Chain A
């Protein structure tokens, strides 16, 4: 793929992936992932080790795929010039933000602004960078902490510094690996607002363990053992457990998943027994139903 086939900048990024495979430490982290995404917010759900981080790293072009094809805005990350162009359009928050404790918040974000080439071609790049840094720190609510060292910040604030650097340069593809981890409820609401504000002009892909985050996204992608087992709107995810979610008071037999609720009843997923008290499934029910294997009798 050459640069001439690239989609122009502006607007949400388009991701087309077919049969993505990636092996790590001898195991297949991604086993033939297919994706077609453009615009909106996508939440990737999956248990630990399902391949969420590997998928985001491949999309962020920091990991090369072993097999399959991946095009981002028509650009192939396997080619150096295409990869650089993809990275110009990208905002990436890895699982581990990696902040040196003795560095000031402003300096951390400005360093990434330098790496992102913010201000390139302007008469005063340093001034453009300063403005860009203040803008993103404003957006994440850290405008008054610019001179603080990152070691003085709470875990949630550090996460927001990471988010700020990802927002630099108004990326058309925003990849966020567990952005809500460590955030308090107020911070999570702010995160949702920031993401919602971008859904019109960017493709936002976030991984999460929280089905709450999935409920506010346009689409949910469920990964299990490196495979995509579901892609669709949150309501459709809940619907996968329709007629397969029930509540009972006695200890359940073999089911896909069950858990004790606060009122002493068991919420069960699977094939309901005759006369079971079916209930309306939630997104969490749908997710747990998909990721849990059918019981063996």
Chain B
């Protein structure tokens, strides 16, 4: 029995084997995301999000710890105020740190690729929001108040992140987050001062309002998506 071998085919196969062997294994976070069912390209985009660094997770933990320590079971409803005020700001800052030439070293390289800037922004914002929400949920479960109210930050977080992304089409990401965050804090404080309920901003009316902000923010970002495809040099 004789065998014929195609040297070119052997070479191709050998190269394929060495490439598989030489390619570094994805990191722990990326492997975890892939196990959760995320496609390999999306998991790569998520782990490349500049905001998702150890320092941000530490800041996230510390800020929420402060919010949690400020809670007081002896004062019904008042106890959650600081936690609910701070919580939506955390992912908002993360979103600002996830995009733009100041945050992403590969920003200009990324702009020159066919990947839509809006898709990249939204993927990263979703990643930041997802990690923040998981973390905040854990913290909220530790709050002494009823768990339902302790999750009052969720919809405002969406609203604030969406507003920040929309504002990023007008100004630099960090400024956008600062403006959105300042308006949020002012709004919550005004609502608190206007009535007897310290959590007035987190009632149904407040939640609906923030849901509307989230939708409007997304619409504005989609309408002005060209701004995410160009370098912000003035």
Contacts and interface: CB of A to CB of B under 8 A. Distances in A.
Nearest to B16: A131
Contacts of B120: 115
A84 B115 CA distance: 8
Residue of B22, B110, B112, B229 with most chain A CB atoms under a 10 A cut-off: B112
B233 A117 contact: no
Interface of B: 16, 19-20, 22-24, 40-41, 44-45, 48, 50, 104-116, 120, 225-226, 229-231, 233-234
21 contacts: A24-B234, A62-B112, A87-B114, A88-B114, A96-B108, A98-B106, A98-B108, A104-B24, A108-B106, A110-B44, A112-B109, A112-B113, A114-B41, A114-B45, A114-B115, A115-B120, A116-B114, A117-B115, A134-B19, A146-B22, A147-B24
Given A98-B109, A115-B115, 16 more contacts: A24-B233, A62-B230, A94-B112, A96-B108, A98-B104, A100-B50, A100-B106, A103-B48, A106-B23, A107-B48, A112-B109, A112-B110, A112-B113, A114-B41, A130-B19, A133-B23
A68 to B, nearest CB: 17
A150 to B, nearest CB: 9
Nearest to B26: A107
A260 B19 CA distance: 54
A147 B27 CA distance: 12
A110 B104 CA distance: 16
A78 to B, nearest CB: 9
A161 to B, nearest CB: 11
Contact of B106 (A64, A84, A111, A117): A111
Contacts of A84: 114, 116
B58 to A, nearest CB: 16
Contacts, number: 105
A80 B114 contact: no
A146 B40 contact: no
Nearest to B101: A98
Contacts of B110: 112, 115
Nearest to B229: A83
Contact of B20 (A61, A98, A130, A162): A130
Interface of A: 24-25, 57, 60-64, 80, 83-85, 87-88, 90, 92, 94, 96-100, 103-104, 106-108, 110-112, 114-117, 125-126, 129-131, 133-134, 143, 146-147, 162, 165, 175
Contacts of A80: 225-226, 229
B114 A134 contact: no
Nearest to A97: B109
B152 to A, nearest CB: 36
A60 B112 contact: yes
Contact of B105 (A24, A60, A83, A98): A98
Contact of B231 (A57, A106, A107, A110): A57
B215 to A, nearest CB: 23
Nearest to A104: B24
B108 to A, nearest CB: 4
A104 B229 CA distance: 26
A15 to B, nearest CB: 15
B20 A25 contact: no
B224 to A, nearest CB: 12
A165 to B, nearest CB: 6
A92 B109 contact: yes
Given A110-B44, A117-B115, A62 B24 contact: no
B105 A106 contact: no
A171 to B, nearest CB: 10
A143 B23 CA distance: 10
A90 B105 contact: no
A99 B231 contact: no
Contact of A99 (B24, B106, B116, B233): B106
B22 A134 contact: yes
Given A62-B108, A126-B40, A130-B23, A87 B113 contact: yes
A96 B113 CA distance: 16
Contacts of A103: 48
B229 A107 contact: no
A107 B226 contact: no
A117 to B, nearest CB: 6
